[in-house]
Structure 1
Amino acid sequence: ISVAKITKKFYPNSINDEFDITCKNISETILCKKVKFGYNVLIGENVKINSGCSIGHNSIIEKNVRIGKNCKIGSSTIIRNSIIKDNVTILDHCVIGKKGFGFFPNKNKNHRYPHIGAVIIHENCEIGSGSTIDRGSLSNTEIGKNTFIDNQVHIAHNVKIGANCSIAGQVGIAGSSILGKNIKIGGQAGISGHLIIGNNVQIAGGSGVIRDISDNQKVMGYPAKDVREFLKDNK
């Protein structure tokens, strides 16, 4: 509670995500001429968008966001509190960098936990339509290089995902879990919070992961277990 109170004092806007009042229509901003903008795009102050990018219709890029070279942002997408590196594609209807789902009960009232971190999406990633990535609370949420994320995936605050991962539709990853490199996750799988998932892990669709998984494992089921063990138990 004390950490939350101190953080709130120094970062009063970290509790509730108000809309960015600095946003202006693209015609009122000065940005790189080598960027393509759709209709009704709004841009906040101190935004930097590099050459070769395109921003789709009705999208909002809020203050202080950084977008690297050759990025493609779909329509009706909102990006705040984020750093997007080069060659990243974010499809339609995504929300990147909103506050996470963090609160603590005290005296029969829920108090929101401040979120002062950011979202960092590294080079050559793709984020599917309708996906949401929450910014970190006291650290950042990060997506590693060349990681591809399907539609309707939710990634919670403080999650770290390594390079070269592929995550299928409707996967949910709870807060503060750390995923290694070269991981494959099937559709509708869920990963609980504060777990460590090793490198080269494969998680079958529909699985529920509630324990750490070491490198090179293939798991399925709920609770997720070694594939051979699962098949043996479910003959």
Structure 2
Amino acid sequence: MSKNIFFKSKGPFKLNILFPNQSNSKINIKNIKTLDKAEKSDLTFFESLNYKYLAEKTKAGACITKENLKKYLPQSCEAICVKSVLFELAKATSKFYPNADLDYPDISLEIAKKSKFPGVKFGNNVLVGKNVKIGKSSIIGSNTILEHDVLIGKDCTIGSQIMIKNSFIGNNVVIQDGAKIGLKGFGFIPLKDKNFRIPHIGKVILEDNVEIGASCTIDRGSIGDTVIGANTFLDNQVHMAHNVKIGRNCMIAGQVGFAGSSTLGNNVSIGGQAGVSGHLKIGNNVKIGGGSGVVKDIPDDTIVMGYPAVPLKEFLKKSK
């Protein structure tokens, strides 16, 4: 789905209007997307060599980047070289999506009417926004809020006191009481007088058979999406920052925290109160011990523990 249904765009903008000091091009930029999703009429960004493999293949018409990174972009992509990629990205995104810098209240909310959602059961005082879709045989608990354009599949169990916005929920998904799904992430540019909020225009995708524990918080993506793969279970009070992607069949214990843009493979298990730093790649079949602090990539089929997290044999050797 190429159109952003959650946030209304003010675009398109000509590239030289967005970046008058860096470009003379008058091509129309219709949207802002990640390196791998961008098309010819889109603007993207590239700030780290970690994403070199995506930069080399991007189809974007223009890319905000640094002088030392522009050589990795295709010739078809105009490099917009700046000092601070994220700051310029935030300013450009604010022009396209000025209402994505905060979670403004959804004024379209109204008490759910059973006649609009055949086959769905509602508790008391459920509020639903415009264009919400809920599959048959789902149940929504009391005092839950589903904001505009949220999609929920069939056979879902959504508990009480839950907030869901900017999200696509698959089939047979369970979300326990008090969870918050699709809210804005903790993203801003620190400035001396007034911090500049980074708009978050992505969404949350929960695939089929996912379970979310009580009081979990799952932030929507900033430019891309936050994704939880099929049959992955989260225990209570897990926090996922913007753009985190978790694979299939993962088990995440209570109070685990994920910083932004980290990626987990399939069949990953993480013990309680572990922390995963941002922009990391955790492979398939990885096990992370409780209380561990993950600060670097972990290859497939590895067991780690400790702070910083190291292979289990190394951890046990140091503990003797």
Length-normalised TM-score, structure 2: 0.72
Residue-pair matches, total: 234
In 1, Cα distance between the equivalents of 2:89 and 2:304?
A: 37
Is 2:269 the counterpart of 1:172?
Answer: no
State whether residues 31 and 49 of structure 1, in contact with CA within 8 Å, keep that contact through their aligned partners in structure 2.
Answer: no
Q: Name the Cα RMSD after superposition.
A: 0.9
Q: What letter corresponds to residue 43 of structure 1 in structure 2? A: V
Q: What letter corresponds to residue 110 of structure 2 in structure 1? A: K
Out of 4, 10, 24, the position equivalent to 2:110 is 24
In 2, Cα distance between the equivalents of 1:227 and 1:31?
A: 54
Unaligned runs of 5+ in 1: none
In 2, Cα distance between the equivalents of 1:209 and 1:26?
A: 43
In 1, Cα distance between the equivalents of 2:260 and 2:319?
A: 31
Out of 14, 21, 24, the position equivalent to 2:100 is 14
Give the CA deviation at 1:30: 4.8
Q: What letter corresponds to residue 4 of structure 1 in structure 2? A: A
In 1, Cα distance between the equivalents of 2:118 and 2:197?
A: 40
**1:64 aligns to what?**
149
**2:165 aligns to what?**
80
Q: Secondary structure at the match of 1:83?
A: strand
In 2, Cα distance between the equivalents of 1:152 and 1:65?
A: 22
State whether residues 38 and 56 of structure 1, in contact with CA within 8 Å, keep that contact through their aligned partners in structure 2.
Answer: yes
Out of 200, 203, 208, the position equivalent to 2:293 is 208
State whether residues 186 and 204 of structure 1, in contact with CA within 8 Å, keep that contact through their aligned partners in structure 2.
Answer: yes
Q: Secondary structure at the match of 2:298?
A: coil
In 1, Cα distance between the equivalents of 2:103 and 2:266?
A: 32
Q: Work out which structure has the larger RCO, using CA pairs closer than 8 Å and 6 or more positions apart in sequence.
A: 1
Is 2:202 the counterpart of 1:117?
Answer: yes
Equivalent runs, 1:32-43 vs 2, <5 Å: 32-43=117-128
In 2, Cα distance between the equivalents of 1:49 and 1:115?
A: 24
Deviates more, 1:31-40 or 1:160-169: 31-40
**2:186 aligns to what?**
101
Is 2:2 the counterpart of 1:2?
Answer: no
Q: Secondary structure at the match of 1:12?
A: coil
- Deviation readout 1:45-69 (Å, 9 max, x if unpaired): 0000010100000000000000001
Q: Secondary structure at the match of 1:219?
A: strand
Is 2:268 the counterpart of 1:183?
Answer: yes
Is 2:303 the counterpart of 1:218?
Answer: yes
Q: Where do 4+ consecutive residues of structure 1 move more than 4 Å?
A: none
State whether residues 31 and 48 of structure 1, in contact with CA within 8 Å, keep that contact through their aligned partners in structure 2.
Answer: no
Identity %: 60
Q: What letter corresponds to residue 295 of structure 2 in structure 1? A: I
Give the CA deviation at 1:10: 1.7
**2:176 aligns to what?**
91
Structure of greater Rg: 2
Give the CA deviation at 1:106: 2.9
State whether residues 100 and 157 of structure 1, in contact with CA within 8 Å, keep that contact through their aligned partners in structure 2.
Answer: yes
Length-normalised TM-score, structure 1: 0.98
Deviates more, 1:5-14 or 1:64-73: 5-14
Is 2:236 the counterpart of 1:158?
Answer: no
Q: What letter corresponds to residue 147 of structure 1 in structure 2? A: T
Q: What letter corresponds to residue 20 of structure 1 in structure 2? A: D
Q: Secondary structure at the match of 1:13?
A: coil
Unaligned runs of 5+ in 2: 1-86
In 1, Cα distance between the equivalents of 2:193 and 2:309?
A: 35
Give the CA deviation at 1:123: 0.4
**2:55 aligns to what?**
none
In 2, Cα distance between the equivalents of 1:156 and 1:23?
A: 26
- Deviation readout 1:10-51 (Å, 9 max, x if unpaired): 212210101110000113x75222000000000000000010
